[in-house]
Structure 1
Amino acid sequence: MSVKTGPQRYPGSSRANWYQDDFPGDPMEVNVVVLHTTEGTSLPDYGGGGAAPNLTAVPDLDTKRLRWFQHFDIECSSRALQNLAGGVETNTLNVCQVELVGTCDPTTHGKWKDAGRRHLFWPEAPAWALEGVARFLSWMHEQHGVPLSGPKAWPAYPDSYGSRNGQRMSKAKWTAFNGVCGHMHVPENDHGDPGGIDITEILRRARADLDLDEPPAGTQPKPGRPKVPVFPGRKFFREGAVNDHVLVLGRQLVKEGFGDHYKVGPSRSWGEADRLNVRDFQKSREELRGDADGFPGPLTWKLLFS
């Protein structure tokens, strides 16, 4: 059984439709986000929670923002994927699931538009909606290490249904996958959502939100911008971890004046002194004070080494 290692509530999300108490899931260390579309215009009831994702994003078309509802902890298995007994693990395989209220079906979009039914057609989502999804993914990258990358093929609906374009992963690919994908990519499932959503733009915005974009190959970094070592991953900074990354982090904390909790000095073994020093650094930075848990993520790492 996995241990939850990061913050479990997405900041600003509502728990008005919380289902984890009625449908306890399995704890897991998330490294995948699956995006769905609800094919509806309002927050679903998910059969009382029996088919709910971890979170739902509801577009507020008047204020031009996404309203977030959380149904399960980030690192608790939810129930929105087909998960056959004895088959490929889907709901329980390190997956945080997000439903985006709206449609990916151009036929449905046309009918709703003709009927005057206000809705969001995700393949043509406005910038504010893409930005709302991107901010969630950047938070998942920073707090849970989910890579801001995913499958190249995101065919438009209905070609995304079933396995028509070969976008659906095999069991082996799914088991090895880390990153952001759609319902259309998950094995044992035949749904085609979220269709042709602009995932390239969403991931670009997510990376820009964390200032993670690297200069093009063959070019020089911007003048005065220090070279930041690559963040090794949250798994290296947890209870019982012993590795060189802990030592490198500790030395940088001391260099930046955040080594007060070391009695002797930094070592290769992660401990409470490391966590407290990281927390002190996080509290000192406006960008991080809302998430000062003492465990470094990509943004903490970048700011510390910059």
Structure 2
Amino acid sequence: MSTKTGPQRYAGSSRANWYQDDQPGDAMEVNVVVLHTTEGRTLPGYGGGSSAPNLTAVPDLVAKKLRWYQHFDIETSSRALVNQGGGVETNTLNVCQVELVGTCDPKTHAKWKAADQAHVYWPDAPDWALKGVARFLAWMHEEHGVPLTGPRQWPAYPTSYAGGGGQRMTGAQWTRFKGVCGHMHVPENVHGDPGAIDFARILKYAKAELDLDDDTSAEKPEPPAKPTVPAFPGRKYFRDGASNQHVLQLGKQLVKRGFSDHYKVGPSRTWSEADRLNVRDFQKSRKELRGDADGHPGPLTWRLLFS
């Protein structure tokens, strides 16, 4: 059984439709995200969780944002893919699954539009929706190491159905794959979602969230040197009563950055409530961390604190 290594709940997501207690899954070490579209306009019931993904993103068309619902832990297998007995593992291998409420079918889009039924047509999704997906993928990259890469072929629906666009992976390709793909790329499945979603733009936005270079062209000038960020040592060093050099290193950096109000004397080698409160204050100061300001340093908190 795999050990869960990162935060299991996406910051700001709702657990109002939580299924893991009634539909337990397998523990996994996730390095793949699969994107689906629901082909509906509202949050599905998923048969009480029997066909649910890990998360669902529901577009709030008035607020122009995605509202996230989490159904399973990030590193617990969910149930939205066909997983044939004796075949390759799909649901349970290494996959976090995300359903995007809306459609990838141009006929469905035309029908809803003619009926004046508000929705997101994902092949022509607005920037705010694509950026919402990108922020999640950036978080998955930072916290779970999912590569910000994926297949080149994202054919439009219905060509994508049953692999008609030549995009469906073989079992061997799937087993080797790490990154972000669509339901239409997964073997043993015939669905064609999310169709011609603008995957290149999503990756561009995700990399921008993390200040990663999205220009792969050759012969570009060397970027200015950035301050060296020490490698994040791991969460085990920041538990109650833990005493080590990493706690002291973090404390000194908090003092340097002006987040030391809760220290009575100064930072020490032993993790304490004062450390947690100072880390929380720093997290609250950064928009990237406000949704998960619990005072416990993770890789993103560490990188932002030392950069």
Residue type at the aligned position of 2:72: F
Distance apart, 1:296 and its partner CA: 2.7
The 8 Å contact of residues 282 and 300 in structure 1, kept in 2 or not, is answered as no
Distance apart, 1:220 and its partner CA: 2.6
Distance apart, 1:68 and its partner CA: 0.8
Distance apart, 1:283 and its partner CA: 6.5
The one-character-per-residue Cα deviations of 1:170-200 (angstroms, maximum 9, x if unpaired) are 1111111111100001011010000000011
Residue type at the aligned position of 2:68: W
Q: Residue 3 of structure 1 aligns to a residue in which SS?
A: coil
The 8 Å contact of residues 251 and 268 in structure 2, kept in 1 or not, is answered as no
Distance apart, 1:238 and its partner CA: 7.4
Q: Residue 155 of structure 1 aligns to a residue in which SS?
A: coil
1:189 equivalent to 2:189? Answer: yes
The 8 Å contact of residues 42 and 101 in structure 1, kept in 2 or not, is answered as yes
CA shift in 2, pair 1:153/1:230, >3 Å: farther
Q: Which residue of 1 aligns with 2:50?
A: 50
The 8 Å contact of residues 123 and 195 in structure 2, kept in 1 or not, is answered as yes
Q: Which residue of 2 aligns with 1:33?
A: 33
Distance apart, 1:294 and its partner CA: 3.8
Residue type at the aligned position of 1:86: G
CA shift in 2, pair 1:176/1:198, >3 Å: same
Q: Which residue of 1 aligns with 2:219?
A: 218
Q: Which residue of 1 aligns with 2:5?
A: 5
Q: Which residue of 1 aligns with 2:111?
A: 111
**Alpha-carbon distance in 1 for matches of 2:45, 2:170:** 31
The one-character-per-residue Cα deviations of 1:234-273 (angstroms, maximum 9, x if unpaired) are 8x85779xxxxxxxx96xx589758x6669xxxxxxxx9x
* Equivalent residue runs for 1:23-172 within 5 Å: 23-172=23-172
Distance apart, 1:169 and its partner CA: 0.9
**Alpha-carbon distance in 2 for matches of 1:48, 1:36:** 18
Distance apart, 1:87 and its partner CA: 1.1
**Alpha-carbon distance in 2 for matches of 1:180, 1:22:** 28
Distance apart, 1:166 and its partner CA: 1.8
TM-score (norm. length: structure 1): 0.81
Distance apart, 1:122 and its partner CA: 0.4
The one-character-per-residue Cα deviations of 1:105-156 (angstroms, maximum 9, x if unpaired) are 0011111111222211100000111111111111111111111111111111
Paired residue for 1:296, among 284, 296, 299? 299
Structure 1 unaligned blocks of 5 or more: 241-248, 264-271
**Alpha-carbon distance in 2 for matches of 1:63, 1:254:** 37
How many aligned positions are there? 282
The 8 Å contact of residues 81 and 189 in structure 1, kept in 2 or not, is answered as yes
**4+ residue runs of structure 1 moved beyond 2 angstroms?**
214-223, 227-231, 236-240, 253-258, 260-263, 277-297, 299-304
Distance apart, 1:218 and its partner CA: 2.2
Q: Residue 135 of structure 1 aligns to a residue in which SS?
A: helix
* Equivalent residue runs for 1:236-247 within 5 Å: 237=234
The 8 Å contact of residues 207 and 214 in structure 2, kept in 1 or not, is answered as no
Deviates most, 64-73 or 280-289: 280-289
Q: Residue 299 of structure 2 aligns to a residue in which SS?
A: coil
CA shift in 2, pair 1:124/1:209, >3 Å: same
The 8 Å contact of residues 3 and 29 in structure 1, kept in 2 or not, is answered as yes
**Alpha-carbon distance in 1 for matches of 2:37, 2:88:** 22
CA shift in 2, pair 1:282/1:5, >3 Å: farther
Q: Residue 140 of structure 1 aligns to a residue in which SS?
A: helix
TM-score (norm. length: structure 2): 0.80
**Alpha-carbon distance in 1 for matches of 2:39, 2:20:** 23
Q: Residue 162 of structure 1 aligns to a residue in which SS?
A: helix
1:202 equivalent to 2:187? Answer: no
The 8 Å contact of residues 228 and 302 in structure 1, kept in 2 or not, is answered as no
**Alpha-carbon distance in 1 for matches of 2:146, 2:28:** 13
